[in-house]
Amino acid sequence: MTPLLSVRNLGKSYGGNIGCTDVSFDLFEGEVMGIVGESGSGKSTLLNCLFGHLAPDEGEVIYSTRAEGLRDTLTMSEPERRMLSRTDWAFVHQNPRDGLRLRVSAGGNVGERLMAVGARHYGGIREAASDWLERVEIDTHRIDDRPAAFSGGMQQRLQIARSLVSGPRLVFMDEPTGGLDVSVQARLLDLLRGLVRRMGLSVILVTHDLAVVRLLADRVMVMKGGRVVEAGLTDQVLDDPQHPYSQLLVSSVLQV
């Protein structure tokens, strides 16, 4: 089976500082890959290099496109890449305010993404937006409200609806439950898990929370100092970590 995404020797430094280095992995269709590590271990740098928010210094990011087979996204033209990130890919930010337009209605936030991929029929767009609000458990009566009036958890659910409405195959998530109350996190995780499984999404999920990884990820990569120090099936890595740093990471959570 061809991987959906193949990353080879990806590296990015900031002046003399390593952001991430020598990162290689494959991601298959329908698979969730968790990336964990302490603050400064390179998780965000890696995620942003993969999505295209940052330009890596070296490496390859080969993506299996629907129309043109395998393509290195790092050598694509800017318009091609933009199109890919609107149609096949989506990004869920930790802070929903980074992924939403706060002055546009909830329905508008979702509908806008459909228009960006060519939808034009107003009735159809509004219906799809309403359907997606329901799917992320937002009362459809709030469709014309601005997200600024929503709670943090609702804003995050709206951002997820906006990201998924266009039917992406690969979703990048940066601490999607970070900054939310524990009870709100639990509900969001449940929702995310259901959507990911039902839609058969491939996900690259950055988090420092091992409970999030345990619940969502099929496989996990542990990063330290910009490098992947251990990778494997989630249960294996969390139940029987091999690298001393992974052991420390797992045991520090258990002690809390």
* List of residues contacting ligand ATP (CB under 6 A): 14, 17, 19, 37, 39-45, 208
- Report the residue number, 19 or 153, with the smaller CB distance to ligand ATP: 19
- Report the residue number, 23 or 158, with the smaller CB distance to ligand ATP: 23
- Give me the least distance between CB of 193 and ligand ATP, in Å please: 22
Reference 49, options 92, 16, 20, 88; nearest CA is 20
- Report the residue number, 115 or 248, with the smaller CB distance to ligand ATP: 248
- Report the residue number, 56 or 147, with the smaller CB distance to ligand ATP: 56
Helix (H) or strand (E) holding 43: helix 43-51
- Give me the least distance between CB of 8 and ligand ATP, in Å please: 19
Paired tokens of 8:
């080879």
3-state secondary structure 156-219: HHHHHHHHHCCCCCEEEEECCCCCCCHHHHHHHHHHHHHHHHHHCCEEEEECCCHHHHHHHCCE
- Give me the least distance between CB of 24 and ligand ATP, in Å please: 17
What phi, psi does 214 have (nearest 5°)?
Answer: -55, -40
- Report the residue number, 50 or 165, with the smaller CB distance to ligand ATP: 50
The length of the chain, given as a count of residues: 256
- Give me the least distance between CB of 37 and ligand ATP, in Å please: 5
- Give me the least distance between CB of 180 and ligand ATP, in Å please: 16
- Report the residue number, 11 or 153, with the smaller CB distance to ligand ATP: 11
- Give me the least distance between CB of 225 and ligand ATP, in Å please: 8
Angstrom CA distances, 92 to 80, 141, 200, 205, stand at 20, 24, 17, 9
Residue type, 79: P
Quick check: 3 and 30 in contact, CB under 8 A?
Answer: no
- Report the residue number, 136 or 249, with the smaller CB distance to ligand ATP: 249
Instruction: Catalogue the E-assigned strands of the chain.
Output: 5-14, 17-27, 32-36, 58-65, 69-72, 89-92, 170-174, 202-206, 219-224, 227-233
- Give me the least distance between CB of 223 and ligand ATP, in Å please: 7
